[in-house]
Each structure stands twice: as C-alpha cells, then as structure tokens.
Structure 1
Amino acid sequence: MIAATLALAALACPAVPPEPEPDPEPAPDTSGVLFEPERVIEVAIEIAEGDWDELRFQSRSIVDIFGGDCLAQPFADPFSYFPATVTVDGEVLADVGVRKKGFLGSLSSDKPSLKLKLDEFVAGQRVHGLPRLTLNNNAQDPSAIRQCLGYGVFARAGVPAPRCNFAHVTVNGVDLGVFTHVESMDKHLIGRHFDDDNGDLWEGTLSDFRASWTGTFEKKTNEADVDKAHIDAVTVAAGAPDAELIAELEAQIDLDGFFALWATESLVGHWDGYGGNTNNFYLYDDPTSGLLHFLPWGIDQTFVNGGGGETPPAVTTVGVLAHRLLDVAEGRERYASAMRRLLDDAWDEAALDAEIDRMTALIEPLVPPETLTAIGDVRGFVDARRDGVTAALDAGLAPVTEPLRDAFCFELIGDVDVTFATTWGTIVNDDIFNTGSGTLAGTVRGNAIVPAQVGSRGGGHPEQPGRVVVQVFGAMPDQSIVAAAVELDEAQLAEGTVELDGEQAIGYLVRFVPATGANELLGLLLAGTLTLSAASTDEGAAFEGSIVSELYWFPF
C-alpha cells in the first residue's frame, strides 16, 4: 500500500529537470592586439605550391565586369579558397582558407591582395576573436599609408570605419613585403559600431539607388533572404520631389551619417567611393534605428591629385543621393556644414603630418625608396587640401547641371582576326606597309573589314618604357586605314598566348584618314588572345604572331 502510494505520488509529481547549463561566456575580444597602430603584424602563409599558383593567377577581365547586362546582378566572384597553414604573430593556425582579393585595378599575380577566412575549413576557428583577415597589396597605393590615414579621418568624422595597420607577409618563405591590414567587413566589425549586429549588410560595387543600378548590391549577411525592400525604398525616396526629398530620405537612411561619409570621401579625395563613383561602400540595415547606415571601403586611391595635377573636387556628385541632395538648399547647407565640421574636428594638418611620420618610420625598413617619394605626395595633399575645399565652400555650392551617368555595360560590336610578320624595332618606322606583312579581317557593327593591303610593325613602346606594341594596318578602299594594335608588358613577351585582359594586355581597333588627319576609335579588343610565334627582342629579329578577339564598344 505504501509502495503504491509512493508510485502514484511519483507520477503526480514528476521529477524537476535540472537547470540547463548556462551558455559559455564568449571568449574575450582581443582583436585590438592585431590592429595596434605601433606595430607591423607578421603573417606567414604555407600553402601547396600548386594551390598558390592557381590562387594568384585567378582573375577577372574587363569583359567579366562590364560585358552583357552588367548591372543586373552582383559581379561574379572568380576566386576560390585554398587551405593553408597561417602563422599570425607566432600563433599557428591550420587549414585556414586563403583566397585572392580585388575587383580590377588592384589585381596582381605577383603580390595578390588576400582574404584569410579562419573558419572556411575549421568551424569556429578564430585569431584573437576574428574570423577573417584582409590584406591589401597596395597596388593602387604606392605610399602604402593612404588607407590607414584615411580610415582614421573617417573614424574621427564619426563614420563607422574599419581599423587598419600593416602586415609583413611571406608565402612559402618568399617575402611579399608590406600589406595594409584592414579590418574585414563582417558581423564582428558591425558589432563594434552597432548595438545589434543581426541586420543586413550589403556591399555596393558600382551600385546606386536607381532602378537600373540596384542589381549589383550584394548581401553579405543573412544571405538566404534576398529581399531588397529597404534599398528599393531608398530608391523611391531618391526620386521624391525637391520639397519632400530630405524628409523621404531621413525616413530611410541615417542622413547625418551619410553627409559625414560623403564629405569625408570628398575631403580625402576618394573619387572611387559612393559620391564619386557609386563604388566601394557598404550599407548596414540597423534593426535598432530602422535606418540604412553607410560605411566606407576601398580607399587606396585617396590623398592624391589627378594625373594633370588637378585637385579633387570639394564635393563629389556621381551618386544619385549626392546629385539630388545638391538640388535642394537644405541639402547644400547640410553638406557644407558637415564639411566645415570635418575640417574643424577631423582634419588637423599637424596631427595628420605626425601620423604620416609615425607610419613612415614604422614601414621604412620594409619598403622600397619609391614608397617614400609617394609618402611625400600624400603629405603635400594633406597640407594643401584645406585651402581648396574652404574656397569652394565660400564660393557656395550649386545644383548639379550634368545628368546622372548612363549605364556603362560594354556592347559586343564585332570581331577581329589578324596575323602579322614583322621584325623587332620597326615600330619607329612610318613606312607602315613596308615594315612587315600580315592579314586583317573582321567585322564592325556588321560591316566587314576587307583591306586592299596589309602591313605590320612592332617593338618596344616609343613612349612607355617596359611596354611592347604590335600594330597591323589595313588600307581600305575609301582611302582610310584601319589598324589593330595590342600593347603589353615586356615581361609578358614570350612565345605563346597572352590573354587580352584590358589591363596588362590592351588591344584596340582604330580608323584614321591620312588625307585629313581624322581618326576614331572603333572599339576595344577584349576576350581575345595575342599568340606570339616569334618574340625575340633583338633588333631586326623576327616578331610574328596572331590576334583573335571580340570587339567591344564602351559608353564612357
């Protein structure tokens, strides 16, 4: 009886389950160690030689980027992760994913920019709490200091910016020199700047808030949900009438933050950012504020004047938000206020010069002399920038009169098939139909190229040391001359095939009329090849081969 009663009691009062174990405390974030400004971190990569060669030669071409309906979707990523053992400041990490990084201008096979993904092959692997490292090769920053200097200005302006310092990198014992170590754009960075890191992070690459330009926004978090409703809402707001523009935008984006980013981009000369090129920026859709926030990226071409020495404008106007905000008086006033505040609070020439001195002393033992010359150019930009910007503000900002740019996808308009047989050094000879022979065929917008006579010449580029040029000329029945030409680096000169990538190897088709001096570019030779069957650089030696390529037109 007692036993039965106890059994019933047990059924009526089931055992209370034990309290669940509390979640383990997250490991402390010690990532600041890797961004201490006073030191250069050491990164040693050990990777299978075959993997390294495959990694560094992975690339994309201009046609990959601009061909077809180029703005309809995010740009394809041609880069793969390869496993490697990576040692960071003495800490050995096995099976780290390593891949090449870059869009176009910074791509290099000798010293590629790199992304290191610690958890690509080992779940949860971190280094000082970081899941990723980003190492930029400075191909477009000959000073090696622009990025760290610039991100410091963005941070002082109150813009959520990545941390930055330097890394000395070796691969399989080969010294690749100094890289800029930039904090990766991921949830870890977002968590430092925002209370809630669960929102959507978007990368803008030639992306804008215009109906035909939103396709290239690429989602970097919460990728399974491809909804772009917030970006679409900003696109609608950007088209609002002048009287409603500010209110419509403030309902969708952190507008004060945008003015700060836009002014800072302009001040440091970031022509390749949102304001200047609708490129190199991120958006964070913050769940707390319900607003989109702008973050800067890709600032390696800052702190420099243009090729003719012209200074960058005090306000960039390519992005539709920049364009529209200058349409209204309040937008112009808020931009000017943001820029003056920036000059007061974040642009201290003495402090910037001291930072340049500090970084120079840090990397000087690791960089070639030409880097120090480029650093001098950065210093000159810093010291002169305030006067130019202040003068522009004092003169008053005006609405933008130029229309927004058109889409710039390349148009396939024809093809070219060429052979040439000449001798090295004939490039300086103007008797173009007696310096070599060849064939020239193809089409331009449906019109066949059928020359009556063909000549060719080649050799070292007369105006660009270290470059090689081959030209094939066709005398046309209308007394014009059509010429196909390819220019390439001397280092590429060898028997075999060279890809016409539009960067190192550039091809083009031109037409000129000797009687009048008129000339026109017919198109670019892209997605094609130059094949050399004889490629000696001895004066008078045979220089022979062929060019087979598609012909593209570009609207810019």
Structure 2
Amino acid sequence: MKITTFGRKTGYGHGLWSLAFVGMALLAGCGGGGGDTEVSSPSDFEPPAEPVNIGGDAELYDPDRLINVSVTMSPADFSQLKSEARTLASTDRECVPEFDYTEFTASVTIDGDRMDRVIVRKKGYMGSLSPSIPSLKLDFDDLWPGRTYQNMTRMTLNNNRQDPSNARQCLAYDQFRQAGLAAPKCNYARVSVNGQDLGVFTNVEPIKKPFLAWAFGDDDGNQYEAQTADFGTWLSQRFEKKTNEKENDRTDLQAVTDALALPDEQMVNVLPQLVDVDEFIRFWAVETLLGAWDSASGNANNFHIYRDPGDGLFHFIPWGADTAFRGAHPLKPLTGVLYRNFSLADRLFNIPEYRARYEAELEDLLATQWDETALLAEVERIRELTGTTADAAASLKTFINGRGEPGDGDYRPARRAVIEQAIAEETPTGEVYRLSDTEPDCGAPATTSLTGSIKSEGGADTGAFRFTLPGGQSVNASLTFAAFEVDSLVYSVDRESKPAVISLLLIGADVNDNFTPYVLQLFIEASDYVPGTHQFHGFATNALLFEVDESQPGDVRTLALGAEGTMTITRAGTGASEGDVELTLDATLEYDSGIQ
C-alpha cells in the first residue's frame, strides 16, 4: 500500500504511476440534467390557486446576495432523490439510454418566504452527481400555475461538486457577459433539506424562455442543449430540442451540417448565413481563455444553441461552467491550449483568416477584459460572502495569477502567459479530439461481473479482483502477486471535489495468464469512506477497469466502466493509517464498445 503517489519498483510501464491522477481527473465528468416525470396533481377538493409573486421584485440573481433555501420533504422521498443517478457506464454508450429523475413535492422556504406544493427533483448528468449533496431543480409554477418567486418560476441549484471554490460558474458567466455574449446570471444559496445543511450552492438562471426573451428579445426560436453533441449526420441527433418540441423541426441543424461538409471556399460564404460566426469566434475565445475544458470547443459539451428569429442565425450560450478556470483537459490529455475539439472551431482554425481572427479575439480579451487584480478581488469577495476557505480557492487563484518562478518545482504560469505563448506558436501544439460522426451502435453492451476482496494494512497489500474478458477468459488479478513488482494499492484524495473523493488504485497480476497486469480504480466520496455497503453512483462511487497498453497515453487503455454494484467497506483507516482498508466488491461493468 502507498498513499497518494507511486513508489516505483520494476516491471510495469511508467503510465501506472500517473494513473491515479488521470483517474481522479476523470471525476470532472460532464454537466447537464435529466428529464422530468409526472407528479400527482393537487387534490380535486383543493380550491384553484391564484397567480402570485412571492418575495417581491428583488433581483433573484443579485451577485451580492447569499440566499437561504430550506426544503422540507418526506425523508423517504429525499432518500430516493439522493440515490437516483444514471450509471457511469450508460453515459459512455454510443446510444445513451433515456433517463428521467423522479419529481417530488416539497415545501420550500426562501429567505423567510414559505411556498408549499413545490416540485423538487435531482439535477445532473454525471460529473456533478453526488449521493450525499444532490444538485436540485425547484419548480414553483407546476402545481400552482402562475406562482413565481421574485418573478422566476424555477430555480436551478448546482452543488458545486466540481468546484470547491464555489466561484467558478459565476466568474465564468460574468466573463462571457463582459464580452457581449448571452450567458445566465447567477449568485449563491445556502441550501438545507429537512434541517440538514448541504452547504453553498450556485443559483444559476435556467436557460428557459425567460432567459431567451431578455437575452435575444424573442423566445420563439429553436433552442437546443448539447451533451456531447456536434453538427453531423448522426451527431446532430444528440442535440436535445428544448423549445418547439412538438414541431420537432431540426432542419436548421441539418443546414449547418451541410455547410460544414462544403469545401472551405464555399463554407465561408454559406456558414455566416446560418451561424453568427463573429460571435461564435468570440465565444470560442472566451472558452479558451477561461480554460473551460468541458465546453463546446473543449469537449463538444455543456452549451446551448439558439436560432434567433430576429436574424435567423444560431447563437451559442455557455452552460455547466464549473470546470472553467482549469485549463488542462483530463479526458483528452493531449489537447492543446487553443481548444478546437468541436467541428465548427476546428474548421475555422484551419482557415488562416479565421485562425487570425480567433487569436485576435484572444489578444483583445487579454488587453481589454482579463484583469487579474479584479478577478482575484472578486474571488475574495465571493469567498467571504460564502464562507469558503482559502485552501478551497487556491487552485482558482493559481490559474489566474500563476505560482512561483520558472525552475521551481511547483511553478505554474499565469493564464495570460499561457495564452500569449500559445498564440505566438506558428504551429499549434496539441491534438484535436473530434466526436466521430458515424451511425451509433445501439446494441446491448458486453458486460462482466466484478468481484473482489481487498485488504491493505501497514503497507502490506493482499487480495484480488476478478472479472471475465469479452472473449470468455477469466481474470484473477492478484494484488498479492503484483506487490512483488509495484505498490499494488495506492490511496489518494481529490480535494478539488466537494465533498473530497477517495481513490483506491489497485494493480493486480492475473494468475491465470502469466501475471498480466490489470488496473482497477475505485472512487468513493470521503464522507462515505466508512464501514458499510455503498451503492455505485455516478463518478462519486464507482470503478474503472484498465489494461496496460504502452501505445496509449498514460500507458493504459480503458476496458470497462462501472454500471451497477456495491462496495462494502469493513475497515477504513484514519490518520497515520488512512491508507489502510478492507473491502469487498460485487458489481457489473460494461465494456467499452471498442473492446473485443
């Protein structure tokens, strides 16, 4: 057993030594939300409710405000709400299955104003999912038509799971708005459910018709949400239509797809008739400057597009900005500083005129908007408003202003220097990761059971994990035998998640096949790292299975992701013995579609 870092012995590729950090970075996952399910209507014996605005006309998204939100609901309902989640494996399928969160009724008190018959449900696609601190959506209007709170029918409360600083989302959206782009307003809320304090959440304006009305002056156009979506024959189907759903006319998406299929000299004439290209380039530049890796240009994810009836053009709207002010891309590690993991960005970047315009936008943002002193002051203001610790905001400040001097072991350049260097490079560094526009395989995935008994005590690692490869070969991966070559259990803590997440990286040698090494990474929220049985839940509690492959980045290849199952902890060390653990596994994994 080893804590936090590997102590390399001999034998296996060096990628294993960084895998703990790769795996922890995967926790950043993707944003987004699920659909709704029906809820019982109020009793027929209840009198009709009159439209009413609760709380007066104060600005719900006043940045100087820390709202108090208290939810009261059935304890059984809250337990079910917390437990609901997509499986990690399902989000990696080529055809992601539909998933709906259950809607519950609750009483909600906001800054002293109580409202009954409020709809509450969980929110989140993958990265923000937590079994202990769920993001929430509140709907004041569904069971009481015409009721609003401070003129809003809904609230979206993000748990900041991927941002312990609590500041990234509001800082990011403010940068988009300063650049003249449409972006949601937001501030902060302290949330409790049934008297349990869940901490500080970000109160983000929903991208609904009221937002479209003030941002564009017209809310009748087609709005789409992207969760790993792009323009393409097949990829465009991943855009979820959020307005005009009954008509379901998606020909506007097809028009952009057709334009991007044209040669450059034709595309540059057709595309501006469909997309506000100048505005997109500025949007793309802001995403890049913010290091928002889980974004449109960074990950083909976490954005909305809206076709404004006023000009007939598509406009981009940022969403899920809790991974902004990060920079490095944990899922696509060879991505360069200048993001272009999206068809529109990639095509434009490869046309010299448009690359020059993109880089000019970055230079303009650095010259006129990117103010390190003001940004750091705003981080401090938010930290004081929300009661966030200095340690929780440290990585955010480092991203903005850098740390140390060149040559120092912990040196980190300021974001300004990173962008300036990237612009100066004649040949851009990094690779481009585009989604594949091919017909998806919607067949049932190959699965395997995963079992295991693991023990680490006083530096001695024993036990094994067992699974079956798609071809039928049984694997018995022994930590005991692997320990002769490597530290076969590595314990680490990711404190850039809220709550912190424990990672247990297990290296086992297959006793059935010449001691071939396999790697299993287990995750569990620190608050759950106690004796008991814990259900798999998103990235918060789950497993990733790898094989050693030195031709891959990090020298490993992902084999399978956790679907359903349990991790039963018998003993978890604390203090000087925090890496000691004894646990068993009983789960189902889904193999990646490319694994034969």
TM, length-normalised to structure 1? 0.80
2:591 match: 552
Contact 2:335 2:432 in 1 (8 A): no
Q: What are the residue-to-residue correspondences of 1:394-433 with 2, within 5 Å?
A: 394-396=424-426, 402=432, 404-406=434-436, 412-416=445-449, 418=451, 420=453, 425=457, 428-429=460-461
Contact 2:561 2:589 in 1 (8 A): yes
Contact 2:534 2:541 in 1 (8 A): no
Amino acid at match of 2:62: E
Q: What are the residue-to-residue correspondences of 1:192-271 with 2, within 5 Å?
A: 192-271=214-293
- Closer, same or farther: CA 450–280 of 1 in aligned 2, 3 Å: closer
Give CA deviations for 1:100-120 in whole Å, capped at 9, x if unaligned.
111111111221111111112
1:52 match: 78
Amino acid at match of 1:352: L
Structure 1 residue 424: Cα displacement: 5.2
Structure with the greater relative contact order (CA < 8 A, sep ≥ 6): 1 or 2? 2
Structure 1 residue 484: Cα displacement: 7.4
2:471 match: 446
Structure 1 residue 150: Cα displacement: 1.1
Structure 1 residue 508: Cα displacement: 1.9
Give CA deviations for 1:16-62 in whole Å, capped at 9, x if unaligned.
xxxxxxxxx99899766111122212211111211111111111122
Q: Between the two proteins, what is the percent identity of the paired residues?
A: 29
Contact 1:426 1:457 in 2 (8 A): no
2:559 match: 523
1:330 paired to 2:353 = yes
Q: What are the residue-to-residue correspondences of 1:51-450 with 2, within 5 Å?
A: 51-70=77-96, 76-306=98-328, 313-363=336-386, 366-380=387-401, 384-396=414-426, 402=432, 404-406=434-436, 412-416=445-449, 418=451, 420=453, 425=457, 428-429=460-461, 435=462, 440=466, 442=468, 444-449=469-474
Amino acid at match of 2:93: G
Match 2:62 to one of 36, 47, 55: 36
1:13 match: none
1:535 match: 570
Structure 1 residue 380: Cα displacement: 2.2
- Closer, same or farther: CA 126–475 of 1 in aligned 2, 3 Å: same
Q: What are the residue-to-residue correspondences of 1:462-473 with 2, within 5 Å?
A: 462-464=490-492, 466-468=502-504
Q: Distance in 2 between matches of 1:322 and 1:88?
A: 42
Match 1:499 to one of 536, 555, 575: 536
Q: Distance in 2 between matches of 1:35 and 1:340?
A: 31
Give CA deviations for 1:288-338 in whole Å, capped at 9, x if unaligned.
111111111111111134389x99855211000000001212211221232
Give CA deviations for 1:461-506 in whole Å, capped at 9, x if unaligned.
53326555677654225x2446574624373554546437554221
Contact 1:482 1:512 in 2 (8 A): no
3-state SS, counterpart of residue 229 of structure 2: coil
Amino acid at match of 1:214: S
3-state SS, counterpart of residue 33 of structure 1: coil
Structure 1 residue 427: Cα displacement: 7.0
Structure 1 residue 162: Cα displacement: 0.7
Q: Distance in 2 between matches of 1:400 and 1:163?
A: 33
Q: What are the residue-to-residue correspondences of 1:478-517 with 2, within 5 Å?
A: 479-481=514-516, 485=520, 487-489=522-524, 491-492=528-529, 494=531, 496=533, 498-499=535-536, 503-508=540-545, 510=547
2:31 match: none
Q: Distance in 1 between matches of 2:417 and 2:583?
A: 55
Equivalent pairs, count: 510
**Greater CA drift, 118-127 or 450-459:** 450-459
3-state SS, counterpart of residue 343 of structure 1: helix
Q: Distance in 2 between matches of 1:440 and 1:168?
A: 44
3-state SS, counterpart of residue 236 of structure 1: helix
Amino acid at match of 2:536: E
Structure 1 residue 528: Cα displacement: 4.1
Structure 1 residue 388: Cα displacement: 2.7
3-state SS, counterpart of residue 191 of structure 2: strand
Contact 2:543 2:561 in 1 (8 A): yes
Q: Distance in 2 between matches of 1:159 and 1:247?
A: 23
1:7 match: none
3-state SS, counterpart of residue 506 of structure 1: strand
3-state SS, counterpart of residue 243 of structure 1: helix
Structure 1 residue 345: Cα displacement: 3.2
Contact 2:490 2:506 in 1 (8 A): no
Give CA deviations for 1:354-403 in whole Å, capped at 9, x if unaligned.
3233323322xx33453243453354259922233233334457699757
2:46 match: none
Structure 1 residue 155: Cα displacement: 0.3
Structure 1 residue 234: Cα displacement: 0.7
3-state SS, counterpart of residue 524 of structure 1: strand
CA RMSD of aligned residues (A): 3.9
Amino acid at match of 1:428: A
**Greater CA drift, 84-93 or 404-413:** 404-413
Structure 1 residue 231: Cα displacement: 0.8
Contact 1:427 1:470 in 2 (8 A): no
3-state SS, counterpart of residue 463 of structure 1: strand
2:511 match: 475
- Closer, same or farther: CA 381–219 of 1 in aligned 2, 3 Å: farther
